[in-house]
Structure 1
Amino acid sequence: MRALSRIALTTMLAAPIAVGTGVAPSIADAQDFVRIATAGSGGNYYRLGSGLASIWNDTVEGVQASVQATGGSVENLDLLADQEVEIAYLAGGVGIQAYENTGTFEDRPADRYQGLRSIGTVYPNPQWFLAMEWAPEIESIRDLEGMRVAVGMAGGQGEAWWRMTMDHLGWTYDDIEAEYTFHDAAIDQVRNRQIDAVVSPDAPGSATIQQMMDTGFARIIDIDEDIIEFFDESGLDYPYTVSAQYAPGRDEPVETFASPITFSTHEGVSEDLVYELTKSMFENRERLIEVHPLAELMTIEDALDGLPFPLHPGAERFYEEQGVL
């Protein structure tokens, strides 16, 4: 997994200074409400975010945390940029596109995402490719031309990845019948024979992938080698092998690519608050694992890998205390 350059890990803004009263504000005064942008209510971001909101409400004095269902990474980037949420889960590969004004974000204002800051990487998110039994001719991404394909929610990581895939192939949305669904909606489409394939990211051991496979209609296919190479060369995404243990219906590992899922914020959130939130998140990791086993992949040692934005000063202070920065 490739990390952002050391320059990007350097604090770019000084912490805000209280003036006028002579008394430093408390964390509660600085930020009463912490809104966590996730994705659809059936997904990993939402489950982890809900667990974390509960932990923060119990352990960080004065904080009132809540979870917000969204369209996923692209929408979360806009919510952070507009400071409409304080915290968001998002794919690092999509995040760095926003920060550098490339890919999906090349037509956005040049400075729109410059105020975003990283807290840490939480887990790898691989791309999945499933084809249905009624479409036996599908053996490659290139076989999806003219097919009904679930590409993820509009504005999410999956749809951003699909746009990049189409750019690589020289396709447009005219080349497929796109369905902007995933999780429960896509599972229902599989059950009802309404789609031919699913191309969307989800974590190892995904309940969504398991439920699609449980229908008896789906099979998991490796991603094309040249597409893996394309994503590997395009940003923070990297080749990834899903072990057969986490690939239902497969006796062999799945060759694909993945993006580091990052926990992010913006420069408007105070250093003290982000420090306390980061500290509480890691100190209560075992409790978060009880909410979702994906939290087992969240470690302090890997937290600085693949960050799309400069590190927030509050998170930086925590990692310095832990001796990993």
Structure 2
Amino acid sequence: MKSILAKSALAISMAALAMGTAYADKSKWPKSFTVGTASQGGTYYAYGAGWANLVAETVGITGGAEVTGGPTQNLALVHTGKLAFGMTTMGPAREALDGKSPLAPGLKMNKVCAMFPMYETPFSVTVLSSSGIKSIKDIPAGAKIGFGPAGSTSDTYFPKMLETLGVKFQRRNGGWGDLGGQLQDGLIDVVAFAAGVPIPAVTQLEVQTKINILEFTEEEQKKIMDAYPVSAFPIKANTYKTLNKDARAVSMWNYAIANCDLPESFVYEATKAVLDNNPKMQTIHKGARTTLAENWDKNTFIPFHPGAVKYYEEKGFKIPANLQLKK
């Protein structure tokens, strides 16, 4: 009889745990939420729209993605509370928290909190095969290079990287899909992508025409890593049909962020919805294979939202005091 009662109690406990979202206090939750992404045709929009829909379906409120200028703008919109959630790379996040954002110099964006790790953003260069460009050093002086939306991670860092490597160019901006079209039409010579792979615009390009994906030499890779907050990254050969071997690149981690004033229970449920459903996330975008709780430590300076801290600690991960929001 004791054994039966114990099993019944355990079953009731498990059922209550599974229904946690239903019993969460939602009185202070927003009626809807929006995730700041980037331009259409890029990884941020595809990934962000997917996790917004997943969270909306799981927690039971309306949610969606918004096209933005990318990480730098997302940080500002989340800080001001105009967006509940956003997506950023660690470089622009560091600048925003230090008060060095180009959108608001001197303003320390202390209302930005970390949620969960997403994926690494490789910096990669794509050209038409017909251009004859096969390496970074082949890029001719004065080449018109598309760097993505103004203020994006690519636009912030890639021009500096190429200048470090001695490339002289004319700068162009636009959404990834638009720049892919301009490359195909011969209006620009190069697209310097900073986006999770596979990049939809590149996948579309290689279906329509022949392209070259340029890799950095070991010397070029080291030079960039010594100068910028990036690490070595191989773009795997099976990422694109164009590649027949891994391509040497550099990358920067991406993180989902939340406004720090959002209710703890809401951010907890949103974080749980994404990290407890990694197989589903991978159907949204292959880059989500690294959207895992154990990668929480890829954030070393953005304070975690208390709701995210609660989730990680339930999973057995101890968030250091210096990465918890000061009350």
TM-score by length of 2: 0.80
Q: Shift of residue 137 of structure 1?
A: 5.0
Structure 2 residue 105 is matched with structure 1 residue 112: no
Structure 2 equivalent of residue 273 of structure 1 = 266
Alignment partner of 1:123 is 2:115: no
Equivalent in 215, 220, 242 of residue 213 of structure 2: 220
Q: Is 2:51 the partner of 1:52? A: yes
| Bigger fraction of residues in helix | 2
What SS does the aligned partner of 1:301 have?
helix
**2:146 aligned partner, one-letter code:** A
1:65 maps to which of 63, 73, 78: 63
Contact 1:127 1:256 in 2 (8 A): yes
Asked if 1:76 is matched to 2:74, the reply is yes
What's the counterpart of residue 11 of structure 1? none
The structure with more radius of gyration = 2
Q: Secondary structure at the match of 1:29?
A: coil
Please state whether the residue corresponding to 1:220 is helix, strand or coil. Answer: strand
The answer to whether structure 1 residue 136 and structure 2 residue 132 are counterparts is yes
> Which string of whole-angstrom CA distances, capped at 9 and with x for unpartnered residues, describes residues 36-81 of structure 1?
10111332222222222222222214x3322111111111112122
Task: Write the distance in 1 (CA, Å) between the matches of 2:298 and 2:70.
Answer: 21
Question: What is the CA deviation profile of residues 204-231 of structure 1, one whole-angstrom value per residue up to 9, with x for unaligned ones?
Answer: 2233222223333421111354553354
How much has 1:251 moved relative to structure 2? 2.1
Task: Describe the SS at the equivalent of 1:42.
Answer: coil
- Segments of 5+ residues of structure 2 without an aligned counterpart are 1-23, 319-327
Per the TM alignment, residue 313 of structure 1 is displaced from its structure 2 partner at its CA by: 1.3
Letter of the 1:75 counterpart: Q
Change (3 A) 1:243 1:166: closer
> Counterpart of 2:160 in 1: which secondary structure?
helix
Q: Is the 8 A contact 1:89 1:261 kept in 2?
A: yes
2:147 is the counterpart of 1:151: yes
Paired residue type of 2:293:
I
Distance in 2 (CA, whole Å) between partners of 1:106 and 1:169 is 24
After the TM superposition, which residues 1-325 of structure 1 pair with which residues of structure 2 at under 5 Å, given as runs? 26-61=25-60, 63-101=61-99, 105=101, 108-136=104-132, 139-140=135-136, 143-165=139-161, 168=164, 175-223=168-216, 225=218, 228-233=221-226, 236-325=229-318
Letter in 2 for 1:85: L
- CA distance change for structure 1 residues 121 and 29 in 2, over 3 Å: closer, same or farther? same
Cα distance in 2 for residues equivalent to 1:168 and 1:235? 10
CA distance in 1, matches of 2:58, 2:82: 23
Which amino acid letter does the alignment assign opposite residue 310 of structure 2?
Answer: R
Structure 2: which amino acid aligns with 1:116?
V
Q: So what's the TM-score if we normalise by structure 1?
A: 0.81
1:250-281 C-alpha deviation (Å, 9 max, x unpaired): 22211110111110112221222111111122
Contact 2:80 2:111 (8 Å CA) reproduced: no
Cα deviation, residue 245, structure 1: 1.5
1:152 Cα deviation after fit: 0.9
Aligned length: 295
Q: Percent identity?
A: 19
CA distance in 2, matches of 1:283, 1:28: 24
State how far apart, in whole Å, the 2-side matches of 1:298 and 1:162 are.
24
Contact 1:190 1:217 in 2 (8 A): no
Change (3 A) 1:324 1:201: same
Contact 1:150 1:198 in 2 (8 A): yes
Question: SS at the partner of 1:88?
Answer: strand
* Deviation (angstroms), 1:308: 4.8
CA distance in 1 between partners of 2:84 and 2:293 (Å): 21
Aligned partners of 1:146 and 1:64: how far apart in 2?
47
Structure 1 runs not aligned, ≥5 long: 1-24
| AA aligned opposite 1:186 | L
